[in-house]
Structure 1
Amino acid sequence: MNLRVSGILLCRFRNESQDGFINLIVSAVMVAVVVCCAVVAPQTIVFAQSSPATSVERNDSQRNRPPALEAGAAGELRRTDAVVADGATGEGSSPADLGSPTSKKLPRFLWNFGRANDSNFDDWPDGWQRRVGRRYPKYVKVAIVAKDLAVQQQLRAVDTMIIREWPRVRKQFKAAPVLPPSLTDALIDRYFKIELDGGLVMVQSPPVKTSHMYQYRFSVKIKTEGLRHDRARAEFVFVDERGDEVETHATESLSGTTAWKVLVLDRIRAPKAATGVFVRLVVEGAEDGLEDIRGEIGFDDISIEPFPQLQLVTDEAMGVHVVGNPVMVSATVLGLPRGATQVLFRLLDVDGREVDRQLSDVPGAEVTDPSEASARLDPPPGGARSSASQGMKVQWEIPRLSPGFYRVMASLQGRELRTLATETTLAVIDPEIGQAGNGSFGWTLLETSRNMPPRDLAKWLASVGVDWVKIPCWIEPTDTVTADRMVEASTRLQDVGIQTIGMLDVPPETQVPRYDIRGRRDVVASQLFRDVRVWQPLLEPVMSRLTLKIKTWQLGGDYDYSFLGRRHLQESIADISTGLQGYGQPIEVAICWPWTERDVAPAETSWSAVCRSGEPELTAEELDAYLTLQQTQFNGSGPRTWVVVEPIEKNQYDRNTRILDLTGRMAVVRKHHVQAAFVSNPRDPERGLLTSQGRPEEMLLPWRTTSLMIGNLRQVGSLKLRSKAKNVVFAGADRAVIMLWSPTSCEEQIFLGDDVHVVDIWGRQQPLPIEIIDGQAAQRVKIGPRPIFISGADPTLLAFRMSVNVEQEQVDSLLGQTQPIDVSFTNPTREGMYGTLRVLPPENWSFKEPSMAWELPPGKSTSLPFHLVLGNSAKVGTYEVALDFEHQTVPPKRFTVYRELMVGPIGLEIETETRLSAGGQLRVEIEMTNHSDATQSYDCMLFPQSGRQYQRRFITIEPGTTERREFYWNNAQPLMGTTMLLRAGEQDGKRILNYEIPVLR
């Protein structure tokens, strides 16, 4: 029968030669349609008029229409028909590490803006709503359009011809549907298009049901064209059973001209109160209120995809554990997939090395058919939940861990499973390191910290080394519950020694319209505090309660420089301070100021503190320079100084660089008169100390260790070490700490005290035993790229070591003649000090009196004169001079301080180079530069080893010039690796220069 119908159609179109080519296409299409009608069930052919079989049942009566939104053209909010299940594929499919662990997939909800999303042919997605109102005009064109309009027009012509011939087909083929399938609907790719015209746009989908049993993957395609001010993004909004928004997750915002880009939000857990999620497409203007009048935005392939969920937590909610206690890890499996029977736990250290692992059975694991997943998306009637919906819990008790940062990874194991894995972080801390209290480092807390009980919040902050806290306090005047919690939090924080600062940065959303602000950029302190008649009535009830506990208040966030350039700034801040104080307690006010702007003279200020910050972050050297300049300009007077010091971006720098940069800037803070240094957003994904869930990030422990070790000490200098390791010494009234690091690993042998410990950047502490090295007591300190801290060092000994100095940096190469060497040092104690000093000379050096006794009153300095004689074989170069001190204490203390001394004519610089040619000839080049004011002439003799004849050259160097001489040896291969001696005698002078030259290729 199919062949007979096809023949009739072909014969008919063969007679209509004027439309030959199009008719041929139509004939082929008709044949294909008839064949499909013969083998496919009729109800599946009419797919343009029906929903997929797996569509979730509509329940429009439960929809809550948000205010300021109007329904689509259909007049009611309906469930979208674009629900794809089981076989769904495409851009929204799962990544490998979160793929569906079963052979079948959970339902995937997809809006691709095809005909299934627009069943009434009005070019508007079914059930979607659009916001219309101020700044959201209806005249901005928003509609579903084809990506290729020309192809759409051609296919519509073909559809028209098929419809004309369809009655003849149905006569020959009775099973054919009344209307043929639309080729346009089946083949044309459509998307949701917005044509900008000077207004903003906000549209949203009907909600899709969710369950806390699953985690979700949200994806969307966005393209932009010609945007200058506007930005486009998608938001996935969880709502509760009443339709109220519970939590929002937004993609990045796109502007300018961008080709189709897939944006993904992965591993999103539905809040427990959420029963659904909807998509909100947002076009917003610039922060200054400007909007585009031209441009296009497209959205396509919006996907909501659930996956079984594997939750991982530890017995400390914030992930901070005290050393010595076991760590209990709990993995909860929600939506247990088919074949999952075990959970594999792995514990990794900060460097990714596996520390431990355990494979645990899932108790009560049973085979679950994924085809039942749609039913599990809805809770049972009456709110009852099966035990399966509560999840299967598997626990692992990790034995005692040493302090440090760890990652715990868990993955489901079983037959026919693809990977379903998750991870969490934890930090193990030693509460005994450093010294808490009266420190200088703190955090600006996020609003989410309010959800933590005040007692727990204070205890947790103190445990991680926080000494200062800024709390956002701008709340509704009627919100007494939050105000009471803030008062209690301030009390608890002060009980553990944490200084509290109130921050007035962003008012509640309901108050923003009262400030007559044009755009988000204007939500800044100078605009919010512009009209006292607006802000004072809203803040007075809050301030009257909170000023009882919080004395200092910051206007604006840590990067809010809006007061910069304000006229009559001194008077304005004074008026704001008076208005905030009202009938409450006296307060102090702080403002923010960028590093790049000059400081305000103290006489022109009315604020008590200024928070300095800038983008990008200053380096340690730049921060030191700025703070030094500030101190020099105003001699420490004026408002107290706060600074923002937080880690640099983790996507641009490696871990060691980030650690060294952060600790270096924290060390600079303790060098200057800075009252406090803040991390402005501890949960920042790039520069934070915590994850978005508040658990430790890898920079938390370096920050904590540095804060506890040096937070209440003052930087006093550095030691000159033999290893050349970089170091900073911090000291207080009764303790001292040394921070050390080196680009390359090295070891320092030095005596620092009787009870000394080393603390690494992760907070691991171990004693440094005393050894006898070269007849003296000393400790071996291993130093590397990550900073370490030496605690328990003797403050008096460190101060004495730093005071020792050889006043001459260089002695002349006058062989056999006496030259003065003066060694100075200071008594840093409040008691008298006496002892002996013995100079231990290098080879071919001698001192007429190498040992001297000395005695010093408290706080006084002295200089001991020694007389140096260089032997005839003494060579030019830099030498280490050992100064052996013995303090006459009970018991006596003996230690050695090393200082460098250069030997050579002052103003003469010697450089050498050796090179072996292919023919075996050695060239030795000697370059002499005269930096002095007098002409210098030398008779140079170069002595090789292996019995070769020396060579001789004369060289004269005028002031400020450079001269070169070359020496050549044939058959020089045996000289490789040896050392030549250059002996240069000054003409008409007393200098003899002995200089060693290593022979290299």
Structure 2
Amino acid sequence: MNLRIGGILPCRYRNESQYRDCRRIVSAIMVAVLGVCAVAASPIILSAQSTSLANGMTSGSAESSSMSHAASESLSTGSRSADRLPPDKLPRHLWNFGRGSDKNFDDWPDNWQRRVGRRYPKYVKVAIAPKDPAAEQQLRAIDTMVIREWPRLRRHLDTLPVLPPSLADAVVDRYLKVDLDGGLVMTQSPPVKTSHVYQYRFSVKVMTHGLRHDRARAEFVFVNDDGDEVETHGTESISGTTDWTELVLDRIRAPRAATGVFVRLIVEGAEDGLEDIRGEIGFDDISIEPFPQLQLVTDHPMGIHTVGGPVDVAATVLGLPSGATQVLFRLMDVDGREITRQISDIPNTDAANVKRPASGLPAKPASGGPRGMEVHWELPDLQPGFYRVMASLQGRNLRTLATETTFAVVDPAIGQPHQGSFGWTLVESGRDMPPRELAAWLAQLGVDWVKIPCWIEPNDTATADRILDASSRLQDVGIQTIGLLDVPPESQVPLFDIRGRRDVVASQLFRDSRVWQPLLEPVMTRLTLKVKMWQLGGNQDYSFLDRSHLQESIAEIATGLQGYGQPIEVAICWPWTERDLMPSETSWNAVQRSSDPELTADELDEYLRLEELQGGSNGPRTWVVVEPIEQSRYDRNARILDLAKRMAVVRKHRVQAAFVSEPRDPERGLLNADGRPEEMLLPWRTTSLMIGDLRQMGSLRLRSKAENIVFAGANRAVVMLWSPLPCEELIYLGDQVQVVDIWGRRQPLELVEVEGQVAHRVEIGPRPIFIAGADPTLLAFRMSVEVEQEQVDSLLGQTQPVDVTFTNPTREGLGGSLSVLAPEHWSFNEPSIPWELQAGKSATLQFNLVLGNSAKVGKYEIPLRFEHQSIPSKKFTVYRDLTVGPIGLRIETETRLLADNQLRVEIEMTNDSNVTQAYDCMLFPQGGRQYQRRFITVKPGETVRREFYWDDAESLLGKTMLLRAGEQDGKRILNYEIPVRR
């Protein structure tokens, strides 16, 4: 039987069954062919790659030392058309490891490189693989059938290509697969042209299976014309077993010196050096996408402005999109509330003399980029605080393009110049600032100590000069400098017996003096002229912990370091969780203490207390790490309170300095990646300035029950207050007091009259506030006042002593009077007593209390009114608690509404004395109803319950019953109020 399908494919079959089968198969082939042809004819091919991705980069294996230079060759020979790309038609570069990425069919992406070396063995298989091998095999079978019939098909359609498009290549989804086998992997793409005119979005999809030690991540590396790496941005690491996960780096600005960017795919082992011998990792859909850039800055590069001055905000539009006509500015406060907004026009001309907008500074062309335009907005005077400015482009047919920046307005008047306890480690923040500006900036932020990394190249005289100049400038403004010897320059790492840069720890670096001494000699010779204190290793480097003969080793290192210049002091790091060394076991001058996770305020207090008990004042000085807790786990109020409380603990103990390890840390830092303020900067600054040089003295007992800490020095005192629930405190603290909130805003406290005396009204909430300008003498006197008796017996009509003690905290004699304001049904036979005290002495005044027949059992707040005979005289009231009740007897009551509108009143008596107690109890309801009576006898150590029942319970709800209990054969009469509740 001769068969022709559409007059194209002749076939010969023996019977009808084969004919029908063949027709179905050939029809399926034709459908596949037509689908492949449609895909091939489409301008978008699923696995095609941009040809601009392969600009002459040599594929194969290479060591990392030659990788970036190979990339530079393609950059220097390629076209520099990126700067001239139309901003509304920006290309997206995509590697999806389809056929367009592997044109030579070797299962390796074209023009990619792979590092091969001791820790990067070639036997670890890395290749392009299908995500569904079975589907690819089926499609390959169809491709084979199509190829067999393709010549006959071309006889009738001569416009077809010589070979048919591959259905498998067009449809199968592929990725770069890594089969682990006990080694690390690093691969690198060819570079993509970049321009500083645009900002970029980098993304990569990662899959892992069966990983225990290894982690997979990606880096996007900007390079210059010479192939030198200018800036690197890394994704997070993926481990374990995870489905395909997209890792994104958004709004990345290309450095001005960069002309290209490439992606580096990395498989790295665990920190302890362990590596997986089994497991699978996949990388796919690597995207580099440019966008027009909208930059936003204020007129101070670090975003710190002084109260009283204007703030100029500049929005710079680079690669101006078509349709953009305006910039919308919005100013937000720390709580995200909009304060004000402004819309400014973007002019249609590049001329410099553009008409000034109705509000704000004129827009003008920005320097250094095509189609760049600056639009300015001058903000009015702002109060101290943390602010966020948002800007977005407005116009027709415009994709959303927005950005934001932060700034802080600070009040130089809060706090006073002092040598405090709080500092930063400047791993990156501010290192590139001119020394004069760096010193002024840090002093403005309340920084008292600075650690500066000082391990530099021996011939890097420019950096050494900057460090020397910076140290001198910092000393001029009262900031102490510590040299940090933690990580040597990249070129020196191979000289040490360590695996790689991540294994760099102090104990390894300082193991062989024949290696480190020649490297550090030129550095230390110059820097020890100004830097006297040096720390070995970073703030969490505990590598000296297990070193044998540690005392002798550190002494030798210190001697070797100071042999190059002036005498120095040395510090090492020690975790809180390890045993404290006795002073006799140490040879270092200071010890940096820290822990992971961060200690709470109570834990830090206890660790410091134990350290002082063991070491006394003879051991090394103590430095601690105190930085905010993670923003991803805690809300802002919790982070602020925790930080302030731990900083307060520092001022309670003998701690020389407390450091923020990395001010730019995205989770715990005070600054963002650009060095501008984050929301925790001002709470840290305010606390540092308010308490940095004061000693924690204790707490005031407040009527509001708000928590507080008192700090005092020779000439000033500060009270830090907070409360989980908002409350108000009325208290007199001095004549010149003012409140400073956590954002650095200060204002005078309102004066009110309370019981014939003036007092300050203080509003307290969950964010700490500081009372500045408090009278140190008055605070110390308030805290010294005690009532010796916590409880007086309920002996009605009997005289009982109440003793009040207090101390004169001044250096001079002090006199005055004390009056006790008696609650209702109380009386004192001598309510006011004069007193005189020598400097530093204490006194006890005894008042004789008589309780009236109607005095009730309970806790009372007793006003103790003092008058100091000073010039001018001071009058203030201190409140202390005093409980009235039978000593040795506890009474508990409970009311409950029962069915049938009946009320049950339960009275429970517990006898804590060593004698039997018996009471005649009468319970009086309100409303003229008859009382009920019970006799209750309670043996020593026994608890007895009695119940009273009342009808018509609804009429008693919300009222108060009176329990009057008279002791049998005794002198006690107990009056106890019982509120009636459901």
- Common fold by TM > 0.5: yes
Q: Is the 8 A contact 2:177 2:280 kept in 1?
A: yes
Partner residue, 1:122 = 106
Confirm or deny that 1:929 pairs with 2:910.
yes
Q: 1:19 to 1:647 in 2, by over 3 A?
A: farther
Correspondence 1:250 to 2:250 = no
Moved more, 133-142 or 789-798: 133-142
- Residue pair 2:861, 2:880 contacting (<8 A) in 1 also: yes
Query: What's the counterpart of residue 570 of structure 1?
Result: 551
Q: Distance in 1 between matches of 2:224 and 2:58?
A: 11
Question: What are the residue-to-residue correspondences of 1:1-80 with 2, within 5 Å?
Answer: 6=6, 8-9=8-9, 24-31=24-31, 33-34=33-34, 55-56=51-52, 59-60=55-56, 67-68=63-64
Which residue does the alignment assign to 1:226? Answer: 210
2:589 to 581, 584, 608: 608
Which amino acid in the other structure matches residue 517 of structure 1?
I
Of residues 168, 174, 180, the one that matches 1:196 is: 180
**Contact 1:288/1:519 (<8 A) preserved:** no
- 1:133-532 aligned within 5 A: 133-364=117-348, 389=370, 391-519=372-500, 522-532=503-513
Distance (Å, rounded) in 2 between the aligned partners of 1:385 and 1:954:
94
Distance 1:794 1:47, change over 3 A: closer
1:622 is aligned to 603
Deviation at 1:290, TM superposition (A): 2.1
The farther-off stretch of 776-785 and 312-321 is: 776-785
Kept in 2: contact 1:314–1:330 (CA 8 A): yes
1:583 corresponds to which residue? 564
After alignment, is 531-540 or 62-71 more displaced? 62-71
1:974 pairs with one of 941, 947, 955: 955
CA contact (8 A) 1:230 1:286 kept: yes
Tell me the equivalent position of 2:726.
745
SS in 1 for 2:774: coil
Cα distance, 1:197 vs. partner? 1.4
1:154-178: per-residue Cα shift (whole Å, max 9, x none)? 1111111111111111122222222
* 8 A Cα contact 2:738 2:772, kept in partner: yes
Deviations 1:324-380 (A, max 9, x none): 0010000011111121111111111111111111011112379xxxxxxxxxxxxxx
The CA deviation at 1:588 is 0.6
In 2, the alpha carbon distance for the partners of 1:798 and 1:274 equals 60
Q: List per-residue Cα deviations over 1:292-344 (Å, max 9, x = no partner).
A: 22211110111111111110000011111000001000001111112111111
Q: Number of paired residues?
A: 958
User: Percent of counterpart pairs with the same letter?
Assistant: 74
Shift in CA distance, 164/1000, structure 1 to aligned 2, threshold 3 Å = same
Report if the CA contact (8 A) 1:106-1:306 is conserved: yes
Aligned twin of 1:729: 710
Q: Confirm or deny: 8 A CA contact 1:524 1:562 kept in the other structure.
A: yes
Q: Any gaps of 5 or more consecutive residues in structure 2? A: 76-84, 351-364
Q: Distance in 2 between matches of 1:312 and 1:494?
A: 34
Q: 2:360 corresponds to which residue? A: none
8 Å contact from structure 1 (residues 77, 206) kept in 2: no
Q: Distance in 1 between matches of 2:86 and 2:228?
A: 33
For 2:21 and 2:442, the matched residues in 1 are separated by 78
Stretch deviating more after TM superposition (295-304 or 131-140): 131-140
- For the aligned residue pairs, the C-alpha RMSD in angstroms reads 2.8
Query: Are the structure 2 counterparts of residues 477 and 263 from structure 1 closer, same or farther at C-alpha, using a change threshold of 3 Å?
Result: same
Distance 1:110 1:815, change over 3 A: same
Counterparts of 2:57 and 2:398 in 1: how far apart (Å)?
A: 40
Matched, 1:762 2:743: yes
Shift of 1:864: 0.5
Cα pair 1:754 1:770 within 8 Å, conserved = no
Q: How does 1:847-886 map to 2 (within 5 A)?
A: 847-886=828-867
**1:576-975 aligned within 5 A:** 576-975=557-956
Matched residues in 1 for 2:261 and 2:405: separation? 25
Distance in 1 (alpha carbons) for counterparts of 2:96 and 2:221: 19
| Conserved 8 A contact 2:60-2:112 | no
Paired residues of 1:155 and 1:183 also in contact (CA < 8 A): yes
The amino acid across from 1:143 in the alignment is: A
Q: Does the C-alpha gap of structure 1 residues 281 and 41 become closer, same or farther in structure 2, counting only changes over 3 Å?
A: closer
Task: Find the counterpart in structure 2 of residue 96 from structure 1.
Answer: none
Residue 116 of structure 2 corresponds to residue 132 of structure 1: yes
- Structure 1: distance between partners of 2:195 and 2:570: 47
Residue 379 (structure 1) aligns with: none
What is the identity, as a one-letter code, of the residue corresponding to 1:859? G
SS in 2 for 1:235: strand
Find the aligned partners of 1:577 and 1:642 in 2 and give their Cα distance: 18
User: When the two structures are superposed, what TM-score results if normalisation uses the length of structure 2?
Assistant: 0.93
SS in structure 1 opposite 2:244?
strand
Shift of 1:59: 4.5
Alignment partner of 2:431: what SS? helix
* Deviation for aligned residue 1:895: 1.1
Code of the residue aligned with 1:754 in structure 2: it is D
Does the Cα contact within 8 Å between 1:312 and 1:332 map onto a contact in 2? yes
CA contact (8 A) 1:458 1:496 kept: yes
Gaps (5+ residues) in structure 1? 80-99, 367-383
Shift of 1:939: 1.9
Q: Kindly provide the CA deviation profile for residues 379-432 of structure 1, in whole angstroms up to 9, marking residues without a partner as x.
A: xxxxx9998626111110000000001111111111122321111111100000
How has the CA–CA distance of structure 1 residues 431 and 35 changed in structure 2, closer, same or farther, with 3 Å as cutoff?
A: closer
Q: Helix, strand or coil: the match of 2:430? A: helix
Shift of the 264–353 alpha-carbon distance from structure 1 to 2, 3 Å rule, reads: same
1-structure distance, mates of 2:186, 2:39: 41
Structure 2 SS opposite 1:902: strand
Shift of 1:5: 5.3
Cα distance in 1 between the residues matched to 2:176 and 2:937: 84
TM-score normalised by structure 1 residue count: 0.92
8 A Cα contact 1:13 1:24, kept in partner: no
Q: Work out the CA distance in 2 between the residues paired with 1:573 and 1:485.
A: 28
Change (3 A) 1:36 1:221: closer
* Residue 984 of structure 1, CA deviation: 1.5
Deviation of the 1:992 alpha carbon: 1.3
List per-residue Cα deviations over 1:799-830 (Å, max 9, x = no partner).
11111111111101111100000111111111
Deviation at 1:697, TM superposition (A): 0.6
Amino acid in the other structure paired with 2:137: Q
Q: 1:745-793: CA deviations, max 9, x gaps?
A: 1111111111111100000000124333321121111111111111111
Tell me, in whole angstroms, the C-alpha distance in 2 between the residues paired with 1:808 and 1:564: 51
Amino acid in structure 2 at the alignment position of 1:422: T
Q: Which AA in structure 1 matches 2:603?
A: E
Letter in 2 for 1:28: A
Shift of 1:25: 4.2
Could you tell me whether the CA contact under 8 Å between 1:500 and 1:550 is conserved in 2? yes
Equivalent position SS for 1:564: helix
Structure 1 position 583, deviation (Å) = 2.9
Q: Secondary structure at the match of 1:715?
A: strand
Q: Do the aligned partners of 1:217 and 1:304 also contact (CA within 8 Å) in 2? A: yes
- Contact residue 53 and residue 190 of structure 2 kept, 8 A: no
Q: CA deviation at 1:700?
A: 0.5
Counterpart amino acid of residue 277 in structure 2 = I
